[in-house]
Structures are given as C-alpha cells and as structure tokens.
Chains A and B, each alone.
Chain A
Amino acid sequence: MTQVLDFVPIWTLILGMAVFFYVLLDGFDLGVGMLFGFAPDTASRNTIMNSIAPIWDGNETWLVFGGLGLLAAFPLAFAIIIPATYFPILAMLLALVFRGVAFEFRFRDGERKTFWDHAFSYGSGIATFAQGVVLGSFIQGYEVTGRAFSGSSFSFLTPFSILTGIALLFGYGLLGAGWLILKTEGDIQSAARRHGRVCLVAVLVAIAIVSIWTPLTNLAVADRWFAWPKTLLLAPVPIATAAVAIVTWRALGNSQAQVMPFAGAILLFVLSYSGIAISLYPMIVPHHFTLWEAASSDRTQAFLLVGTLVLIPVILMYSSWSYWVFRGKVRADIGYH
C-alpha cells in the first residue's frame, strides 16, 4: 500500500487523549475511593459512594480503550510494556475487581458491610499505586531483546517507580477531593478541602522530585528541557504549574469555590501529563522504539480510525448526557441507599 497519509500522529493524539481521559475520570473516582476510607460514618460513606455510583464503570471503560488502543495502534509497545509490568498490572486488575464489586456488594451484603467498605478504599489505593508504578517503570524504560521484553518480572520495582506510585496516590486523592467538593456539601465538603490541601502539597513535592530526578538519570530528557533555547520555549510548563498550584491551594481554602478545586486539580494533571509527553516524545518504548517503529500497519490503523472518528464524538456525547442526568450535588434519594 502506498503511503497516502501518516496515521501515527493521529493515533498518538487519540491514544494520548484516551489515556488522559482515563487518568482524569478513573483518577477522580479512585481518589474518591481512597478518601472514602477516611469518612467518619455510614451516612457520609453512602453519600461519597453515591457521588460516583452512576458513572464509575463508564470511567473505567477508558482503561479498556486505552489498553486496546495501545494494542491496536502500537502493538509492539503493548507486547513489551504489559509483560514488563506483569505484577503491577496483576495487582491493579485484582484491586479493581475488589473495588468494582464493592459498589454492588457493599449495599446488598449487610453483615459484611465493613469488609466491602475496606475492599473499596484499599482496592482504590492499590489500583492507584500500581498504576503509578507502571508509569514510573515506563518512564525509566525496559530491557528489550528483539521484539520482546527480556528483563525479569520484578525489574519494574525501583525507588523511582515506588516514588511515582506514591505520587499518584496523592494525585488521584487531589482529583477525588476536587470531585467531592463539587458534588457534596457540609462536613463532607470541608473534610475534602482539608484532604485536598494535604494531597496538593504532596503532589507538588512529588512533581519537583520527578522533575529533578528524570533529567539527572536520562540525558535525552535533560537535553529536551535544559538545552538553550528550548528551555525558553518550555518554560511556560513549570511556570504554569506553579501558578495553578497557588490558585488551587486558595480555592481549596475558600468555602465559596465549588468548581475551582476540581478544575485546578485537572489542570495540574494536564501540565504533568504534557511534561511527561514532552520528555519522552517520540519514544513509545523509551530507549528502544519510537511511535513509528511500534505502530501497526496502515491498513490496521486506517480501519480502526474510520470507526473511531465517528464513535468517539458519539461516546463523548452520550457520556456527557449521563453526567448531565446526574448533575448537581448528590441527592440523598438517587443511587444506592
């Protein structure tokens, strides 16, 4: 087939968006899941649960699409990254199983209520930590021979990947606090504001450490950020991060600000995400394969693109509709009771 159009940038964009949507959407509901563990009584636990009950599995669907999108658009990357993170992915999947069924089981299973409450918050935490570990090991790169991962199933475990794991706990916690401020009132909201501030500080510390650590250990990344005049071009990213951090901190403390804490948390994720993208582009398997080398055939990308371009807007439309139906503060009479 003659090359008419390079699909790789298009798929990079689509997949980048899909993964980001996942991080954002499941991010806040995993975060809510962790904060749920700190709720003092059954009533507030129920309200917190109901704030995400109608939408959580729609959010998790982006994980499936992210995974399958990676398989479809960049199969070589999928075939290397996923076996290389065998155990974090195992932990994530099993944690998501526990957390997912807890939505249903918690309300139906009277006697074991406390067990499923714990399953919900710990499941959320473990899944988040595992995703952070995957992210850290991805940034650091994998041992590759030929077209396959050739390291050990435990080589994902490094101080750096543990750091990113912890960082994501606070990151999702911040998103979750933002969501709860948006969706609840009174005591639950005030608690979310306090938790949000703790998470924000931790997130900023983590961003700072990662921003120093990565260029120190990876020359390509250092070159990307610190070679003049690129530094000038990229300077807005850290500056914007600092600005957003300040605004978010203030919004968390201002009891009138309902939307701003969540918006601020989202912006911090946008900035961190673009920071990682800028550091790694054009590699999809850092140190080994670029997006183009890992891409699937033109026919494959074209065939899937046709449907994706039609379906993604439709999906966004009806997903927004389902968020719209459940808009506003959580009502006591909707959802699980």
Chain B
Amino acid sequence: MDFDPVLLSRLQFAWVIGWHILLPALTVGLAAYITLLEGLNFVTGRQVYVRVSMFWIKIFSISFGMGVVTGIVMPFQFGTNWSRYSDATANVLSPLFAYEGLTAFFLEAAFLGVLLFGRKLVPQWAHFVAALMVALGTLLSSFWILAANSWMQTPAGYEIIDGRFFPTDWLQVIFNPSFPSRLAHTVVAFFITTGFVVMGVGAYLLRRDRSAEEGRTMLSMTLWLLTVLVPLQIFLGDHHGLNTLKYQPAKLAAIEAHWEAGRRVPITLFAIPDEKTEANHFSVDVPFVGSLILTHEIDGEVKGLKDFPADQRPPVAIPFFAFRIMVGCGLVMLGIVLLGGWLRWRGRLDDAPLFLQLCQLAIPIGFIAVIAGWVVTEVGRQPWTVYGLLRTADSVSPSLTGSDLLISLLAYVVVYLFMYPSGVLLMWRIVRIGPATEEPDAAIEAGRPKAPVLAGGHVGVGDGA
C-alpha cells in the first residue's frame, strides 16, 4: 500500500498528544486549585471549601486517570514510530524525560492515592501535603516536558558527532532560548483553561440554584484569578512571539503569512495563504501594525517566507489559522473577564443570567486555545523535529510500512474516540449531581462520596437536575 509512513506517523503523534494535552491542561490547574481549597479550609475552617474541593477531586480523579494512561502512550511513541529521532537525540533529551518520570510521575502517583482515598486515614495536614505534592508533581512534569519540547525548537548546549546529538552543557540544554517564555506561556494557559472550566461549572450551579454557595465560591474565586491571569497571558504571549521572531523566523513568517521580508509590514487579519503562488488571497491587512506588534517598533524588520528555501519552510495555512484561533480565544476571554469585573463592581455578579450563561458556554475555550497554540508551535517547527538540524522525514522508524501505520492509527483513533466521550459523560454526570450541599460527614470519611449507583441513593443519581 502506498501510504506514507512519515505522514501517518505524524498524524498518529498529533492524534495521541493532542488528546493527551487536554488532560494536563485541566489537571495542572485543578491540582493547584484543590490544594488552594484544602489550604483555605485548613486555615479558615470553612466547610464550603471542603465541599468544593471534594467535588473537584472527583473530576480531577477521572481526568488524572485518563491523563496517566494517555501519558504512558507518549514515551513509547518515540520508540515505536520515531526510533531514528530517539537514537539521534537520546543523549541530550532522554535525561529530561527521565527526570520527568522521576520527579513528577512518581510524586503524583504516590500521593494521589492518599489525596483520593486517604482523607480519613491520615491527619488533615498530611492530606493537605498530599494535595500539595500532587500539584507540585504536575508542575514539575510541565517543566521537564516543556524543556525537552523547547530544546527541539531552539536547541542549545549540544554538539553533533556522526549525526547524533551529544550534550556539552546541561544548563544550556534545559534553559534553552525558548524555554522560559514557553514554560510561562503554557503553564498560565493551563491555569486559565482550568479557570474557565471552574468558572463555567460555578455559573451552572448558580443558575440552577442548587449548591448556590459552592457555585458562588467557584465563580468568585476564579474570576479574581482570571482577572490577573488573562492579561498576564496576553503579555506572556507577546513575549513568546518576540522569542520566536528571534530564533524561529520561518515559523513566525508562516504564522503571519508574510512572504516578503520588510520594514513597516502590515498585520494580516485574514487571508487564504497559497503556498504554490507564494502569495495570499483575500487578505485583510492593517498597515504598519505587523512591525509594531512583532518587533515593538514601527520600523522593525520582519523576515518573509521567501527568505527561506522552499524545503525549509513550514506549512503556512495551518499555523496561520491556528494562531488566529488562539488569539481570538484570548480576546474573548479578556472580554468575559472585563464583563465579569464590571458586574462584580456593580454588585450584580450573582443575578446576571446572561453572564452566567456566557461563562457556561466558555467552559471549553481554554482547551481550544491550548490546542490551537500547540498546533501553531509544532506545525510551525516543521519540516524539522530538531529545528534546523534534524528533519522529520529522517526521524521516523525505518522498519514501519504504511499499512503498519494504518492499523495502529486506526486503533488509536477508535480507542480515543470511545474513551474521551465516556470520560466527558462521566464528568458531566458529576457536575449535574453537584457538590454535596449538607455537612459532608458521611461522605468525607472515604475521601470521595460513594458512587451514585452502588451506594444506593447516598448521593443519588436520580435526583440530578
């Protein structure tokens, strides 16, 4: 069969990591939020924090379980499909991945059991420490994975011997040029994603007028958080863009669909980029703003795609549109946060049904932005796995045939398309049941309320709205 193993391997990797990244996007933020709630309860003794925490622990436990199993798939992809990449880069990158396992995976896994089931088995401070360790683990995981990812974008601290990379300076390898801005941008993105989920669920609970106190706590806390984080993220994104301009000019040119180099370049709001004619169709430009945004100078010089040989350019349309989706999400987020702030200032946050509905609609917005941003950065890296040094086409396992790939890709597609909706359905059910509203004496014992069906009406599946 004539399927291209490289293309199919890329699709497969995109498929498994695209689904996987949605889970850290939620669990990194949720772990921190649960820790905050447990901490607040520890300090203030207010029970509402425990009820909110126990509610989110249930959601967290499902998403974390899904994150673990889809995460285990990832390192094996390097071996099954990208063995030449593994052979070439292992000396530099593998310790970063291994350190993720050592510092993050074990920490999360060991303390997760105590967080989920240990509330009555250990003292309250130990339970809080367990939450803290899980949250720390998720952050350490982001640290190492993004260090490795960034090194592929902006390699540093290495030498090449016989076509393989060897480390010369570990600090340069880890803190490579794009790492700090990427780490900040991604972790804040994860927090914001979680923030919109929590805010939307809080709005739903408020609207439904059951568990209103819990809903109000969720909405109010996260609105404050997002008021800080969304503007911060816009700043960080801009900073990350400057970094891309400096180190990955071809990627930036693709993001902006700039074909010609120049000063005082316009910003293209919309266009249909055409790689064959090396031009844009139907483009809507705003003069000068391109240079201003990208270089922070009206006269700043920006490279164009034509500055790079055709076989060293990334695809143009995908990063171009994905970037606009991401920025669009950011602007909508900013709008919601500003509106929420204004309503809060007027003291009308609770009874603004339209705003609550808007928050509910915005639940998936962070996920969309995360996926779009990830597409921008990874498709923009093409045609390289290690930017400018190792081609994607030279990275794939040589033994694989197109039909091997067809089987495996199909298997991943079927399994993920079955598993994710099941997971979302279960989380939706938990949301519908809502947090326990009365004193959670019985439920608190076991760390999480009894499962609806087996517990025989303890929480009661039938009384969901």
Contact = CB atoms under 8 A, between A and B. Distances in A.
A325 B114 contact: yes
B99 A307 contact: yes
B457 interface: no
A277 to B, nearest CB: 22
B353 interface: no
A332 to B, nearest CB: 10
B79 A110 contact: no
Contacts of A93: 72-73, 76
A71 B400 contact: no
A290 interface: no
B440 interface: no
Interface in A298-336: 299-300, 303-304, 307-308, 311-312, 315, 318-319, 321-322, 325-326, 333-336
A336 to B, nearest CB: 6
Interface in B388-423: 397-401, 404, 407-408, 411-412, 415, 419, 422-423
B159 to A, nearest CB: 10
Contact of B110 (A299, A304, A322): A322
Interface string A71-100: 110011011111110110110011011101
A108 B60 CA distance: 13
A307 to B, nearest CB: 6
Interface in B159-180: 166-168, 170
Interface string A110-124: 101100000000000
Nearest to A72: B94
A141 interface: no
B110 A75 contact: no
Interface string A199-218: 00000000000000000000
Contacts of B75: 64, 67-68, 71
A89 B397 contact: no
Interface string A277-291: 000000000000000
A322 B111 contact: yes
B91 A300 contact: yes
A101 interface: yes
Contact of A325 (B68, B91, B113, B407): B113
A94 B101 contact: no
Contacts of A304: 94-95, 98-99
Given A57-B65, A336-B451, A300 B84 contact: no
A53 to B, nearest CB: 7
Given A90-B80, A100-B65, A296-B91, A337 B399 contact: no
B422 A148 contact: no
Interface string B441-464: 000011100111111000001000
Interface string A54-77: 110110110111011101100110
Given A86-B408, A94-B411, A149-B399, 19 more contacts: A54-B114, A72-B90, A80-B83, A90-B80, A90-B411, A93-B72, A97-B415, A100-B66, A108-B451, A148-B399, A300-B94, A300-B166, A303-B167, A307-B102, A318-B106, A325-B113, A326-B113, A334-B120, A335-B446
24 contacts: A57-B65, A57-B112, A58-B110, A58-B112, A69-B101, A75-B94, A78-B90, A84-B399, A86-B80, A89-B76, A89-B80, A100-B66, A101-B65, A103-B65, A108-B62, A152-B401, A296-B94, A297-B167, A303-B170, A307-B103, A308-B98, A321-B110, A325-B118, A337-B455
Interface of B: 61-62, 65-66, 68-73, 75-76, 78-81, 83-84, 86-87, 90-92, 94-95, 97-103, 105-107, 109-114, 116-118, 120-122, 166-168, 170, 397-401, 404, 407-408, 411-412, 415, 419, 422-423, 425-426, 429-430, 445-447, 450-455, 461
